[in-house]
Structure 1
């Protein structure tokens, strides 16, 4: 009899069979599930603490997705041969798993929960992210932890006009869509996607298709839980202190309502801070007068936050103006400036209300491409997008240094939005790095980065296929009433039920990201949000055209100039030289950067056009073939008794026989030629060893 109480459930998911197994590995975790899809295998574990830390006022959920080199049969790189800090891909996948499960924990549940996913084996055709999301959901569901799941997840492709459930990596290369959707049986919770300018209706249909397909995974998790689930926790939220709630309302209600009539974010923040201090002081005085213990200030702050949310949400649902005075469909005022920095290749300052992005573009060569080496294989990326938000953007102090998860996620979203309009490498053979520095933030800074990124690249001379703009939508929902908000503020994001970002051109959507804080939304709400987002995007695109003109500017004077030539692939070794000596010498001699492709494409990069042309001539000389009848000018390399060796081209010499030096008889070669002397010669043929035969006499006769 086995020592393991192993339970497995299998189902077909698109073209792959998926198997969920529990009871064999990591049995001391609160929940552990192994998920296998094809040859991709992940282990998802969850552990939750039974006790809450004293004074805890937020839900401490952490999700860590970890890739190990052994999963692909590789050694880790670097000196230590051990995996180090998380890669960007690992960070993004951790966020992808976190976002749909976080809203499903009950309000007031503040126990620490840690979800860890290890990739144990990887099929290069099957990305581990979907199995990881399913595994995290299954581990949480069987653990007995308070969780309103399970969730399912599905990747959707769009190939030849039809949707594909969980396409392979190869199929995605042919797909116009890469969309990941997660949700419960009833509703969608999270969407992450990039697309090739697809219509809004196609995007909505893809979301609903994915939601329908994921139901098989949810059913399998239910079956696994029925057979192997642990007893549900006997957890109840702490009872509300009605007397404290009433007292806080009495002290602060009028002040909070007044604070949310203040249009300026900083002024409103100062007013709210003063209200919090006033409530704390009054409650402390009340306790001293009554001789009782002072109320828990974390609980008081929670009550005040709920009061803020109620004021903002009620105003919007009743049709009153939003926090900054706008209606639900209006985009904040926009101001655009390009070419604001003298030495950067491209720059743009995009300001929308109190959100501002300074976006810079740098153009480079193939050597500047990012080399990505992970368990799915090695690849190169010529487009890099980075997003930074320092603490001063919100008028705060804080840590500055390596990017946080949020910054990495926002940068990737902006990259997805802009990727569809980039010119091909054949049209524009530059590497492109775009950096968005958020200088002010009051909502939708990632979408400001999309708009600024587009304008910055155009300023640098990148011939984009079209303009791209993005807008963040919000949602306020109470019962059957809901309101969709265009261009949300930070407070509306914080106090609302949805953050729905849509980016695209006039012709369609290029990126869509949705995060829901309630237990899912319906197709009707998504359709309304997409329609309203289209309206907002058209308005922003109109402003971008109006203020920045049409099309790309001239290539920046500070950007490297690229010359491209094609050589015979068999001549590549001549250009590189022994141990790279020739190409290294060329780079030092000309000051250029030279890249050679396997097909013989040579790219020369230099800020000086004359130097680039010189490097081009040197390469052409190295790879040129000596031709019969052609006249060459070169140095006398060596004198011989019977003639001289003449340098024709780099690495190519020919013999000038003594009989071909002059019309008269030549007794001593040194009477006519000296080593180092430059002479003109004509190629009159090749000897039996294919060495050029040269003549000075032939030129004299022609003259």
Structure 2
């Protein structure tokens, strides 16, 4: 039987409709925030256990053009692969909810959020986050807690909690924070540069009896001091606590009874750990000191194979490798705490050798090879005209926009010595590129970026 729960929290009037749509899912929430409607569903497969050492959680955020009364543009009148905004929104939800899953959890789990209707001034990321969090809270997963997301900005010195998109564009910064009643889980921050006009009277010059004024347009980065940011986060945390408490109080009676999920069983490797500590610790220490991380990993595997062969237990290679890595962590921790040196022999206040080479590519407008130890980054800059800007339009945009500053991040497999083909940008590459863009873009006055 369906039911409705209405709330008015942190300047938002919201409604949850439960048990009405997607009844076959383990949990589903129809979430309304003004004219914005999100459908969040959670499903998992208890009949199949993932043995690999990671949390098998997939978060999907999907936008439909009909949410704003549009038909998809282009030859194919159907939504295709997820756009950058959809991918980045899914990553925000993932980073906020994944910490709640225990290490022993091994069921394939999929959390899907679909934007079915979108108010043109609504913050879709906040709505998607809170719909997904409520959906997970109402499921029968025993570790689910109520997570709440808050967006904040500052306009003329006043902190605005959950601003509209138009307010966000006017603000000094864009801050998105998620957390529970007791702790913060994720922070994403970007300063927003702005133009300000300064009018300076010009002495002794008159035009029709009126003093002439010189108008100067300045670009302000809007950087924030650390103590300011801490104060802002404290106020945002209060809003998160208020929102999470209100959600939990309103939805706790509809939460499913928790299941007793089967924990992922790990093999007992105590015997191998003790063996490596007693007989192979010195050899392992020398491997750890190897400067190249990729070669170090290769040597660890060779070392584990050597031990497996000596014990005539090649079939136990994976467990022996886990034991090797466990002892490796102990040795590295001991080196740092007791000897004051890192794994590669550096002292705690020493940095890796750094070199910067510029203008490597003769035809590019700018190029740089940055090297720190074994890590390298090749950065290439290209300038263009207005016709070269990226045309894009998010679901809530009234018209298409131009993205003048683009930052494309690539992480090819060969950079870590892996033999894999190049493919389209992964979610990780899009996410890391977005973080780098957020750090650099406030420093650029895009109005000066002319061909």
Paired position in structure 1 for 2:359 = 339
Aligned residue among 412, 416, 420 for 1:398: 420
How far 1:234 moved relative to its partner?
0.6
Paired position in structure 2 for 1:428 = 449
Q: Bigger shift: 312-321 or 35-44?
A: 312-321
Paired position in structure 2 for 1:364 = 384
Paired position in structure 2 for 1:389 = 411
Residue aligned with 2:98, SS: helix
Paired position in structure 1 for 2:432 = 410
Structure 1 residues without counterparts, runs of 5 or longer? 288-293, 431-703
1:516-536 Cα distance to aligned partner (Å, 9 max, x none): xxxxxxxxxxxxxxxxxxxxx
CA distance in 2 between partners of 1:160 and 1:58 (Å): 45
CA distance in 2 between partners of 1:280 and 1:346 (Å): 51
1:270 equivalent in alignment to 2:298: yes
Aligned residue among 16, 22, 27 for 1:31: 27
1:80-159 equivalences under 5 Å are 80-159=76-155
1:209-239 Cα distance to aligned partner (Å, 9 max, x none): 2222112332234234421111111125356
Paired position in structure 2 for 1:685 = none
1:169 equivalent in alignment to 2:165: yes
1:265-324 Cα distance to aligned partner (Å, 9 max, x none): 2442232121232344356x259xxxxxx55x6555544444433433454344631223
Cα distance, 1:222–1:312 mapped onto 2, change above 3 Å: farther
Query: TM-score, length-normalised on structure 2?
Result: 0.85
CA distance in 2 between partners of 1:329 and 1:236 (Å): 45
1:233 equivalent in alignment to 2:259: yes
CA distance in 2 between partners of 1:361 and 1:286 (Å): 53
CA distance in 2 between partners of 1:329 and 1:17 (Å): 52
1:350-373 Cα distance to aligned partner (Å, 9 max, x none): 112222111111111111111112
Paired position in structure 2 for 1:548 = none
CA distance in 2 between partners of 1:406 and 1:322 (Å): 28
Q: 1:153–1:181: 8 Å Cα contact kept in structure 2? A: yes
Paired position in structure 2 for 1:419 = 441
Cα distance, 1:275–1:204 mapped onto 2, change above 3 Å: farther
Paired position in structure 2 for 1:316 = 336
Paired position in structure 1 for 2:275 = 250
CA distance in 2 between partners of 1:52 and 1:279 (Å): 32
Paired position in structure 2 for 1:678 = none
Higher relative contact order (CA 8 A, sep 6+): 2
CA distance in 1 between partners of 2:4 and 2:313 (Å): 58
Cα distance, 1:73–1:319 mapped onto 2, change above 3 Å: farther
CA distance in 2 between partners of 1:188 and 1:79 (Å): 44
Q: 1:349–1:359: 8 Å Cα contact kept in structure 2? A: yes
1:8 equivalent in alignment to 2:30: no
Cα distance, 1:298–1:210 mapped onto 2, change above 3 Å: farther
Residue aligned with 1:276, SS: helix
Aligned residue among 206, 218, 229 for 1:203: 229
Q: 1:49–1:111: 8 Å Cα contact kept in structure 2? A: yes
Cα distance, 1:63–1:239 mapped onto 2, change above 3 Å: closer
Q: CA RMSD in A?
A: 2.3
1:604-633 Cα distance to aligned partner (Å, 9 max, x none): xxxxxxxxxxxxxxxxxxxxxxxxxxxxxx
How far 1:85 moved relative to its partner?
0.4
CA distance in 2 between partners of 1:217 and 1:298 (Å): 45
Q: 1:191–1:207: 8 Å Cα contact kept in structure 2? A: no
1:188-587 equivalences under 5 Å are 188-195=184-191, 196-238=222-264, 241-242=267-268, 244-251=269-276, 254=281, 255-282=283-310, 285=312, 295=316, 300-318=320-338, 320-377=340-397, 378-425=400-447, 427-430=448-451
1:47 equivalent in alignment to 2:43: yes
Cα distance, 1:221–1:317 mapped onto 2, change above 3 Å: farther
Cα distance, 1:10–1:57 mapped onto 2, change above 3 Å: same
Cα distance, 1:103–1:401 mapped onto 2, change above 3 Å: same
CA distance in 2 between partners of 1:298 and 1:218 (Å): 42
How far 1:92 moved relative to its partner?
0.8
CA distance in 2 between partners of 1:216 and 1:368 (Å): 45
Paired position in structure 1 for 2:15 = 19
How far 1:97 moved relative to its partner?
0.8
CA distance in 1 between partners of 2:123 and 2:47 (Å): 36
Residue aligned with 1:417, SS: helix
Q: 1:248–1:279: 8 Å Cα contact kept in structure 2? A: no
Please say which structure displays the higher CA radius of gyration.
1
1:383-420 Cα distance to aligned partner (Å, 9 max, x none): 11101111111111113021111111111111111111
1:628-655 Cα distance to aligned partner (Å, 9 max, x none): xxxxxxxxxxxxxxxxxxxxxxxxxxxx
Matched pairs, number: 416
How far 1:192 moved relative to its partner?
1.2
Residue aligned with 2:24, SS: coil
Q: Bigger shift: 357-366 or 227-236?
A: 227-236
